[in-house]
Amino acid sequence: MPRLLPLLLLLASPHALATPPRASELFLAGGSLRTCSDLAPQACRSPRTDPTRRQPARYLVDDESIARALDPLLWRASAGAPPASALAPMLASAARDADWSRDQLEDHFSAYCPRATCDGVAFGSPWQRLLDDEQAALLSALERPQRHGDGRARERADLADSREQAGVAILRAFVAAAAARADGRPPRIAVVTASAVDPFDPVDFYLDAFRELGADAVWWPVDAALKAAVSSGDCDALESLRREHLQLADRDRIYPDLAEQQRQACLDPEATAALPGQVQGMFFAGGDQWRHRAAFFDAADRPNAWLVSLRASHASGALVVGGTSAGTAVQGGAAMLSNGTSALALREGARARAPMAPGCARAGRCADGLDEDTLTYWDRGGLGLLPGWTMDTHFSERARELRLLALMHAAKVDHALGVDETSAIRVVKQDGALRFEALGAQGGWLFERQPETPDGAMAARVHYLAPGAEFSLEAAGLKPLAPLGNVVSDAAAPRGAATRQAAEANAASGHDALAPESLRAAARVAADCSRTLRPLSAGDGTATLACTDATFAWPAPGTGSRTTRGVGNLLLRYAPGAEEERSR
């Protein structure tokens, strides 16, 4: 792959190029970057036709794979799981030596329900009684290796062929920020994949994507299993520790090269811990932020050597850190969101505890009588690279605004970020001051918690950042760092924009605040302070967005439509129960 560093620097955000090395910098993406690769053909413009590259996983059921799947070490952390006596006949019921796809195998196991154990019994199917991690454990034991020539078939990225380029632009801007710290050399970028159900699975994609953008990309193979191996000093136990801590079987059989790389990292723990000081960029993959966090704290919930090194390099300004989805959610220093929906957050509040196990509702195994969608958070925060802040992702698309508001009031968090899909917020900290800039397709929200009122209402000063401008957050609210373009009026908007804007206003006024993208639409309409929006329904309560004396709006570059506008200094308020009979 040719090095694209000169072109990369020309295409980079001018702010990234202007950032001096002493500023610490974060690129926080909201997930769903929609980049093309062999395993994401739906994101590609052209078909994936190379049979030598990695394909979706295939599975084999035989005596050897069944024995792997029933290994007691794989189930050590699975109290309440169906016993081996129930799982063994389910596994044996699958056709031997057949070439199973994941969907085919899951459909077969879901349908397996012997009369003696399932007839008329809730949660009777052994497969349905497994948590998501336990289902993944069985599948990992049955997975076939994929070989090409003498090695492993690898996934390749093809960013230039992505149908949408907004996610690619975010990765490009991140690489450019790392390049600004590389003294004219190709930037060295490390990738962290500890958040994945299988931390080996996304490695090829991220390394290839960053190499396509001109970086020297490496994998930092830290995860909970490596942490346990380093702690015990037994690197030969890594494969068994993956069974115990990650519920994954035989990764050295599927990814022999990556397993060996992780073993070498275990054998030289000092060099592994020193890696953040030897790279200019560190990117955290998506998945589950709880898994990311587990890699960086010891049994007493204290930062381990990896996190101490990461924090020091980032604070010095020598290392730019990025992440997507879970890789964003884990970066904050205030309470770390780990699970939950807005609807349950408003109805039941937030719980400071470990998250519910994914799949526990289906399996009938949720802990402490709680719902799988209960809002949970870890009050000691995530990795702490942005102290005092909580981060959330997939934000407008999953209607998480009121979930974040509930968390901020429950955990007394003063500041939070919510980043939309295929978008990112760039945060620069210099001399104690923070600067913010949106990138990508949409943008994201900044929340500032306001005091709770005697009637139990929760409120925040909120700002929706559209791309194209840079801001500081001060006591008086959001402040642009350069003059902003004016929001184009309906009359001057491109053909069709006025119709879209009218439809948006109708949808936002009186709409359900728990519906996807509803509050984002309402914020863009509320920015026109001549309009008065009725409260939005929100479960048993109501949500309102209102202008303040400091409200202002701006368009994203090259647009005249409200659908891409940003707005600063609105007031978001949620009131439980009927608020003046919903402003009848």
How far, in Å, CA of 268 to CA of 182, rounded? 25
DSSP state of 318: S
- Are residues 269 and 364 part of one domain? yes
Could you list the residue range(s) of the whole structural domain that residue 315 is in? Answer: 5-34+164-450
pLDDT at 524: 87
Q: Are the C-beta atoms of 78 and 244 separated by less than 8 Å?
A: no
Residue 289 lies in a domain: yes
State the amino acid at position 201 in one-letter form.
D
E strand intervals along 423-531:
423-430, 433-440, 444-450, 458-465, 470-474, 477-480
In this structure, are residues 141 and 74 in contact, taking their beta carbons and an 8 Å threshold?
yes
Q: Which of 416, 450, 484 is the last residue of a domain?
A: 450
95: Cβ–Cβ under 8 A, 6 or more apart, which residues?
A: 61
State whether residue 223 is helix, strand or coil: coil
Residue 435 shares a structural domain with residue 373: yes
Element (H, E) at 342: helix 342-348
Counted residue by residue, the chain has a size of 584
Same structural domain for residues 445 and 539? Answer: no
Question: In this predicted model, what pLDDT tens digit does every residue of 79-112 receive, in sequence order?
Answer: 899 999 999 999 999 999 899 999 999 999 999 9
Q: Is residue 39 part of a domain?
A: no
For the chain, counts of helices (H) and of strands (E): 23, 23
Domain match, 77 and 208 both:
no
Consecutive H or E run containing 188: strand 188-192
Distance CA 553, CA 541 (A): 28
Q: Which are the contacts of 581, defined by CB distance < 8 A and separation ≥ 6?
A: none
Question: For position 487, what pLDDT does the model report?
Answer: 53
Between CA 331 and CA 514 the distance in angstroms is 26
Phi and psi, residue 202, nearest 5°: -90, 0
Do 12 and 78 lie in one domain? The reply is no
Q: Tell me, yes or no, whether 43 lies in a domain.
A: no
First to last CA, the chain: 63
Same domain flag for 436 and 545: no
pLDDT score, position 486: 63
- Res 25: pLDDT: 98
Tell me how far apart the 2 most distant CA atoms of the chain are, in Å: 73
- Residue 45 domain-assigned (yes or no): no
Boundary of a domain, candidates 91, 116, 145: 145
* Alpha-carbon span 190 to 96, nearest angstrom: 41
Structure-block tokens of residue 387: 């102290």
3-state secondary structure of 442: coil
**Does residue 391 contact residue 29 with C-beta atoms inside 8 Å?**
no
Domain annotation covers residue 570: yes
Burial annotation 424-448 (CB, 10 A radius, 16+ → b, else e): bbbbbbeeeebbbbbbbbbbbbbbb
Using the 3D structure, point to which of 97, 116, 145 is the last residue of a domain: 145
Cβ 61 vs Cβ 67: under 8 Å: no
- Count up the domains in the chain and report the number: 3
Per-residue pLDDT at 245: 96
Alpha helices in 235-288 (DSSP H): 238-241, 251-254, 256-267, 269-274
Which residue in this structure is represented by tokens 């609210």? 477
What's the chain's Rg over C-alpha atoms?
A: 25
460 part of a folded domain: no
Contacting residues for 525 by C-beta, under 8 A, at least 6 apart: 501, 504, 505, 508, 509, 531, 533, 562
Shared-domain flag, residues 380 and 428: yes
Question: How far, rounded to the nearest angstrom, does the alpha carbon of residue 205 sit from its chain's CA centroid?
Answer: 16
Q: Are 27 and 322 in contact (CB under 8 A)?
A: yes
Give the model's pLDDT for residue 118: 63
What is the C-alpha separation between 416 and 268, in angstroms, rounded? 38
Same domain, 181 and 285: yes
Burial of 265 (0-12, 13-18, 19+ CB in 10 A): buried
Q: Are 262 and 403 found together in one domain?
A: yes
| The pLDDT of residue 563 | 52
Concatenate the DSSP letters of all residues of 110-156 into one string: HH---HHHHTT-TT-STTTTS-HHHHHHHHHHHBPP-EETTEE----
Give me the pLDDT at residue 114, please: 75
- Whether residues 182 and 129 fall in one domain: no
Residues 284 and 339 in one domain: yes
Q: Is 72 exposed, middle or buried (0-12, 13-18, 19+ CB in 10 A)?
A: exposed
Contact 166, 196 (CB under 8 A): no
Amino acid at 256: P
In a domain, 309, yes or no: yes
CATH of the domain at 10: 3.40.50.880
Residue segments in the chain with a per-residue pLDDT below the cut of 70: 1-21, 115-124, 486-510, 558-564, 578-584
pLDDT digits (tens, 9 = 90+) for 508-566: 445 899 999 999 999 988 888 887 778 999 999 999 999 999 999 988 775 444 455 89
State whether 236 and 330 are in the same domain. yes
- Asked if residue 48 belongs to a domain, the reply is no
pLDDT for the residue 525 = 87
User: Tokens 């600063």 correspond to what residue?
Assistant: 568
**Residues whose CB falls within 8 Å of the CB of residue 483, separated by 6 or more in sequence, listed in order:** none
Amino acid at 422: T
